[in-house]
Amino acid sequence: MTVNPQTTPLQLIDRSRQGLAGTETSKVAGLLGVTDKEMARLLNQSVATLHRQVRASHLDAPTSERLLLLTRLATYGEAVFQDKGKFTRWLRRPLRLLDDRSPLDLLDSSIGVQLVEDILGRIEYGVFS
């Protein structure tokens, strides 16, 4: 699944409505450097439901949408940090800007994903975060 910052919101909507393959869940977990348990939390699911969906041919629209948003975030974060390892370590680091919560703690909501993307934008343009 290729999602880049130039992917339009309408393209994301269309792709989420079509439903992604269940295997995309593992790919996104790899991009973010998270475990199955953490991925299940990000998708607001139990681990058992996550495993069942991984075996599914197509995911439902809400799960597909969340995976697309997380993929876009991971791609952006890796580009900002110019290194996947640095980005995944940053995701786990508590930030004063987030009341000492880590960016990863916020990725279970679309508002949290947007907030983390905003912080990445500030880092990209050299605004202290």
Q: From residue 30, give the alpha-carbon distance in Å to each of 46, 53, 70, 71, 74.
A: 18, 16, 11, 10, 10
Q: Where are the alpha helices (DSSP H) in the chain?
A: 9-18, 24-32, 36-42, 47-54, 61-81, 84-92, 110-124
> Tens digits of per-residue pLDDT, 68-85?
999 999 999 999 999 999
Residue 5: band (very low, low, confident or very high) from pLDDT cuts 50, 70, 90: low
Counting every residue written for the chain, the total comes to: 129
Pick the range with the lowest mean pLDDT from 4-13, 16-25, 87-96: 4-13
pLDDT at 99 over 90: yes
pLDDT at 42 over 80: yes
Residue 92: band (very low, low, confident or very high) from pLDDT cuts 50, 70, 90: very high
Residue 48: band (very low, low, confident or very high) from pLDDT cuts 50, 70, 90: very high
Look up the pTM and report it: 0.90
pLDDT at 129 over 80: no
